[in-house]
Amino acid sequence: MTLTNATPFIAGNWKMHKTVAEADELVSQLMAASADMMEAEVVVIPPFTALNKVKNTLCESPIQLGAQNMYWEDQGAYTGEISPPMLVEAGCRYVVIGHSERRQFFGETNETVNKKIKAALYHGLLPILCVGESLEEREKGETMAKVGRQLSEGLEGLTPEQFSQVIIAYEPIWAIGTGLTATPEQAQEVHAFIREKLSENYGNTACSCAIILYGGSVKPANAFSLLKEKDINGALVGGAALKADSFIELVKESIRAYREK
């Protein structure tokens, strides 16, 4: 499968929200609006416990399924972890790797992120690699250095072909769940840097097609201005993905932005 950024890519990360019953209700509401979302790649990312049920409900729907995390081994004595083959079996196409909450609360490092990226690709899962700076790093002018390091260490050892299966999500930590969004200009500046930096390793062609998402308090009211920016190809959405009407509106706004780009 070749990834392309010709249409907007909108992924709803439900984090530790939604019981199985609630997840099923939300995805059913989203499916009812599928016709309005055809021009986007729409992905739902429920907690592990709801993956199976959500996949069964989605059935042949164009809405895709993703997972929030995984371990890099196939199986073994790793209490509490979930392996790539388990996610494949559950019907996942995508997996989020290195979300800032995983780095902050669960000790993930660029090194573990790299192992996970390689394991995901090996099993045919498409990783969504999250990168982003803290407020302190931004204020000290270290944003690009931090993001650059997360990219080079997180993607270390990947061939250009492997890289073509990776999605990047720029998520400034200070904007996640805070209601503070990077301005479109701030986000575009980092997205352009990411594309440029990646092209040094993987070539211009691969990088012009790469999907680079923005995440951090994206909502229906700001999706249009963010996605109008040249290098912003979609969004990784937390809070606004938990209710069907706001997520659907956000997808529609993203499609509208892409049409006007």
The residues annotated as belonging to the active site are 99, 171
C-alpha span between 98 and 28 (Å, rounded): 29
Among 98, 184, 216, 234, binds ligand PGA (CB under 6 A): 216
Alpha carbons 13 and 171: distance in angstroms, whole number:
13
176 binds ligand PGA (CB under 6 A): yes
Closest CB to ligand PGA among 86 and 176?
176
List the one residue from 57, 64, 114, 217 that touches ligand PGA (CB under 6 A).
217
Residue with tokens 């609630």: 22
Give the range of 34-42, 50-58, 193-201, 231-239 binding ligand PGA by CB under 6 A: 231-239
Residue with smallest beta-carbon separation from ligand PGA? 238
Q: Which is nearer to ligand PGA, 41 or 171 (CB)?
A: 171
**Residue number, 84 or 238, with CB nearest to ligand PGA:** 238
Q: Residue 107 has which token pair?
A: 């000790």
List the one residue from 70, 158, 190, 218 that touches ligand PGA (CB under 6 A): 218
d(CA 32, CA 193): 38
CA dihedral 91, 237, 10, 135 (to 10 degrees): -120
Dihedral angle at the C-alpha atoms of 11, 16, 22, 28, nearest 10 degrees?
10
Shortest distance, CB of residue 138 to ligand PGA, whole angstroms? Answer: 16
199 by Cβ neighbours in 10 Å (0-12 / 13-18 / 19+) ranks as middle
Please report how close the Cβ of residue 217 comes to ligand PGA at its closest, in angstroms: 4
CB of 227 to ligand PGA, least distance (A): 14
Interface region with ligand PGA, contact rule CB under 6 A, candidates 80-88, 160-168, 209-217, 252-260: 209-217
Of 26, 236, 255, 257, which lies in the binding site for ligand PGA, with binding defined by CB under 6 A? 236
Provide long-range contacts, Cβ within 8 A and 24+ apart, for 27-30. Answer: 27/54, 27/57, 27/58, 27/63, 28/57, 29/244, 30/63, 30/244, 30/247, 30/248
Answer whether 188's CB lies under 8 Å from 232's CB.
yes
CA contacts within 13 A on the Cβ side of 4: 6
- Binding part of the chain for ligand PGA, among 32-40, 148-156, 170-178, 201-209 by CB under 6 A, reads 170-178
- Is 171 one of the binding residues for ligand PGA (CB under 6 A)? yes
Q: Is 13 in the site for ligand PGA (CB under 6 A)?
A: yes
Number of residues that bind ligand PGA (CB under 6 A): 13
Q: Which residues contact 41 (CB under 8 A, 6 or more apart)?
A: 7, 8, 9, 10, 64, 234
Could you tell me the smallest distance in angstroms from the CB atom of residue 175 to ligand PGA?
6
- What residues line the site for ligand PGA (CB under 6 A)? 13, 171, 176-177, 215-218, 236-240
